[in-house]
Amino acid sequence: MRILLAMPHGLLRGALRYVLSTHPDMDVIGERDAVESTIEAVRTDAPDVTVLDLTLLNGPGRDPAGAARAAHSELPDSKILVLVDPRRPGFGSQISAVPPTIGFLAHSASPERVVDAVRRLAAGEPVVDADLLVAALTAKMPLTARELRVLEEAALGTPVKEIARTLSLSPGTVRNHLSRIIAKTHARNRIEAIHIAKEKGWI
C-alpha cells in the first residue's frame, strides 16, 4: 500500500511516517507540505492513499467538507484521509455530500488509528471519526457568514475603512458588525473577539 503524507513538517508527520513504516504492507512514498506539490506527487506517483492535513487547503472561513471536496476534485485518483481540527465549523452538516473515497479523522487521533483508517479507506470502507463527527455536530458558531468575513479582515489588522471597501460595505456597517461580533463572542473588545474566534477555529 503506497501512502503519501501531505501535512506541515512536525512531530505528527514524523510520528506517522515512523508508525506507517513499521507495517510491512505500507510504504510511505513521499512527504509534501504544500497543495501544489501534493497534487503533483499524486499525479506522478499514484499513491493508494493520501493522508492530508486540512490546514494545507482550508482557508479562513472555508468549511472542512467543502475543502475536502475541493481536494477530491484536484486529486481524483487517490483516496484521501483528511485530518481535521474538530473545532472548525461546517463539517458535520455537510458530511453526507463528501465522496466515499474521502475519510476523516481528528488531528488528535493516534498514529495507530491513522494506520487503521488508512487500511479501511484503501479497502473501500467509509472512514469517519465518531468523536470528530459528534464534536462537529454539537459545535455552535454564532457568527453569520458576513460577520465572519469582517472578523477575518479585522484579524489581519485591516482598518475599518479598508474592510468596508473590500467587502463593499459602509464603515458604519462594518462597525455595527464588529459590535455584534463582540457581543456574540462575549468578548470585551475586538482583539479579544479575534482571539476567541481563533481559539475556537472559526478563523
- For 107-161, the pLDDT digits (tens) are 878 888 889 999 999 998 888 777 666 655 555 678 888 998 999 999 999 999 9
pLDDT for 92 beyond 60: no
Strand partners, 5: 31, 51
Strands 79-84 and 49-53: parallel
Residue with cell 474566534: 197
pLDDT for 63 beyond 80: no
Asked if 18 and 79 sit in the same domain, the reply is yes
Asked if 57 and 108 sit in the same domain, the reply is yes
Contacts of 156 (CB under 8 A, 6+ apart): none
Asked if 25 and 118 sit in the same domain, the reply is yes
Give the pLDDT band (50/70/90) at residue 60: very low
pLDDT for 96 beyond 90: no
Residue 185 belongs to what domain range? 145-199
CATH number at residue 195: 1.10.10.10
Asked if 132 and 179 sit in the same domain, the reply is no
Q: How many domains does the chain have?
A: 2
pLDDT tens digits, 19-49: 999 999 999 999 998 877 888 888 888 899 9
Asked if 152 and 74 sit in the same domain, the reply is no
pLDDT of residue 103: 85
Asked if 85 and 104 sit in the same domain, the reply is yes
Asked if 56 and 122 sit in the same domain, the reply is yes
